Structure 1
């Protein structure tokens, strides 16, 4: 754990308790819900957009959305998810349509955001922590001001010590005690609402990456879209930390496309084609364009052999923008690759 402003190390620990927990989710009631086909139930999508039908306001994003079905006497559809508070205001009185980036889900007359009861800040326990001298002084002082560590980064490494990802904290020390992990170590309990806690569904993905990066390509192919998103997040955060030597121009990359059935699958396959198992080469079209400019193992020009390209075309040629406009993601990716001087041969 390091101080965010100057990078001073507060301490190094063996494990963190409380990092894996469900994020606080927003709850929406969608009144007079009319489904476009089958009513939505269970997990809905990584990104669900609420689009005002009159297009006078920007869409509202609800991430990792789940449907609880119709509830109450009104029969409103209830959705939960992580929102960014950007979009139609509370009590918006005009019809709204919903889509998940791939298809339209339905529409409602209006919606309401349900206010949940405030919950106490959870604890984050750094077990087996070797505290810095600065942290020892703060603990010895023991005042409220000394125990407020302001803002810090929790830097997470895999079992081999390689950087994997991080989380921003605003930690206040609740308690500390000698640790069973070894002499001179402590268990430090922090009052903190972790920015981006890791939800349960992503725990198997994290466990896999904490053991070290994959040694063979395609370790993500058996995952559902939700877990592929979690895998792609770790690939992106680890990939942006690596120092790579640019390979010579004229390289030939092979992309196996049998499992490109969703957007994260497209960028996971591209990353592994260019940079090997667990490799990163963009997590969206804009990031792909950035990677093509250099610094991510690629030197123009090159050739990409895209095998079984029909699978991606079947699943990603009619996706939706945030406001619901159809576009061809495969064609857009091919255009960006061509601009980056990668000649693509589809098979």
Structure 2
């Protein structure tokens, strides 16, 4: 695989400036290690709702999954402390047990195991403290799920066992031809170099972008490359690295010879691989309609492989724009595509073949943060936008 780093030009009307073209990489197509799981004790709890049910299940079965847990500080009157966004979160929570904090009928102490942080990548909770900060004269914490359902209150949170954080695998771009500011920094002999915000792209055999991500890059080290005279191997520190996955590697290999020429090549892929395929379709300019091109009045959607929301978006993209075509990745981006020059504008008819597959498979999964729409919600979405769906 080949890779490219570009930076935005000072001239807003000028194209991005290429600062590195690289022939290979290590540590790019890897799955990140699982996050550390810590053990906490929620002391003096009066559990309610889903938390109370999970505690009861844990007492019966030894442990029980809970999902995500949000804590918000309460003042001395038991009211939430402002600002409202000042919360503390745990994910992938499992209840390990509960014991009485005192006499029978008093609040309980609940032992849990969880990953510290918010409910998704890039949600702003990466720097939260190990335990929630205690405001002056506070009375405890309100406990909630991610949808703010009341799960009761607790008096205190204690970290009782901390697992070490996993080692980070460095990203190395190899055989790089340096240009512009990156070349100048190399020539000046700097040990490190802060690139700042850049676009990091994987390229196919012809040098066409398969996938591209904005991130912040810092050159931790660089050495002459055995790939050839004048080429350099870069070891990078990456701020946002959710693009690094084996799923992306699988998809990019499938796109190495160029965009797909046949439909449904994504059908056997896993959910994470389908997401990577969707990312690639967004950069596939060969499957984009020309602005102002006429749109069809009837579109046929092949529903045989719509087993998840990613499959729905990929099948819709191919129905509108052919193999490797994009027409949104979720209802929000599909709504955007419906309002522009993406190959289909309401009103039109969507004939959904083999719709029974989606009817049986789509919808939310308990104890996860996947708010995927159900089959009925997708039909309502189209109806509100003057798209006549015919179930075939």
TM-score (norm 1): 0.72
Map of 1:330 onto structure 2: 375
Instruction: Evaluate the alpha carbon distance shift between residue 256 and residue 95 of structure 1 in structure 2; reply closer, same or farther with a 3 A threshold.
Output: same
Residues 28-39 of structure 1 correspond to what in structure 2 (within 5 A)? 29=39, 34=54
SS in 1 for 2:177: strand
Map of 1:343 onto structure 2: 388
Map of 1:234 onto structure 2: 280
Give the counterpart of 1:2 among 1, 6, 9: 6
Instruction: Evaluate the alpha carbon distance shift between residue 211 and residue 327 of structure 1 in structure 2; reply closer, same or farther with a 3 A threshold.
Output: closer
Unaligned runs of 5+ in 1: 100-105
Instruction: Evaluate the alpha carbon distance shift between residue 256 and residue 28 of structure 1 in structure 2; reply closer, same or farther with a 3 A threshold.
Output: farther
Map of 2:204 onto structure 1: 158
- Matches of 1:320 and 1:158, distance apart in 2: 38
Map of 1:14 onto structure 2: 23
Residues 225-276 of structure 1: per-residue CA shift (max 9 Å, x gap): 33333333333x4258975315423432211213222222221221121112
Map of 2:189 onto structure 1: 142
Map of 1:103 onto structure 2: none
- Matches of 1:262 and 1:204, distance apart in 2: 19
Instruction: Evaluate the alpha carbon distance shift between residue 162 and residue 201 of structure 1 in structure 2; reply closer, same or farther with a 3 A threshold.
Output: closer
- Matches of 1:272 and 1:61, distance apart in 2: 39
Cα pair 1:317 1:331 within 8 Å, conserved = no
Cα shift at 1:192:
3.8
- Matches of 2:316 and 2:143, distance apart in 1: 39
Give the counterpart of 1:275 among 311, 321, 324: 321
Map of 1:262 onto structure 2: 308
TM-score (norm 2): 0.65
SS in 1 for 2:377: helix
Cα pair 1:261 1:312 within 8 Å, conserved = yes
Cα shift at 1:127:
1.6
1:131 corresponds to 2:174: no
- Matches of 1:255 and 1:328, distance apart in 2: 17
Count of matched residue pairs: 329
- Matches of 1:304 and 1:165, distance apart in 2: 29
1:214 corresponds to 2:247: no
Unaligned runs of 5+ in 2: 11-15, 43-50, 73-79, 100-109, 133-139
1:302 corresponds to 2:348: yes
Residues 178-200 of structure 1: per-residue CA shift (max 9 Å, x gap): 332x4433323334455324123
Residues 36-47 of structure 1 correspond to what in structure 2 (within 5 A)? none
Map of 2:76 onto structure 1: none
Cα pair 1:321 1:327 within 8 Å, conserved = no
Instruction: Evaluate the alpha carbon distance shift between residue 233 and residue 49 of structure 1 in structure 2; reply closer, same or farther with a 3 A threshold.
Output: farther
1:286 corresponds to 2:295: no
Instruction: Evaluate the alpha carbon distance shift between residue 294 and residue 148 of structure 1 in structure 2; reply closer, same or farther with a 3 A threshold.
Output: closer
SS in 1 for 2:272: helix
- Matches of 1:40 and 1:224, distance apart in 2: 27
Once superposed, what is the RMSD of the aligned Cα atoms? Answer: 4.7
- Matches of 2:293 and 2:191, distance apart in 1: 53
Instruction: Evaluate the alpha carbon distance shift between residue 198 and residue 270 of structure 1 in structure 2; reply closer, same or farther with a 3 A threshold.
Output: same
Instruction: Evaluate the alpha carbon distance shift between residue 116 and residue 10 of structure 1 in structure 2; reply closer, same or farther with a 3 A threshold.
Output: farther
Cα shift at 1:288:
0.9
Cα shift at 1:96:
4.6
Instruction: Evaluate the alpha carbon distance shift between residue 249 and residue 108 of structure 1 in structure 2; reply closer, same or farther with a 3 A threshold.
Output: same
Cα pair 2:225 2:233 within 8 Å, conserved = yes
- Matches of 1:267 and 1:193, distance apart in 2: 29
- Matches of 1:334 and 1:143, distance apart in 2: 58
Cα shift at 1:117:
5.0
- Matches of 1:278 and 1:223, distance apart in 2: 14
Map of 2:77 onto structure 1: none
- Matches of 2:171 and 2:379, distance apart in 1: 44
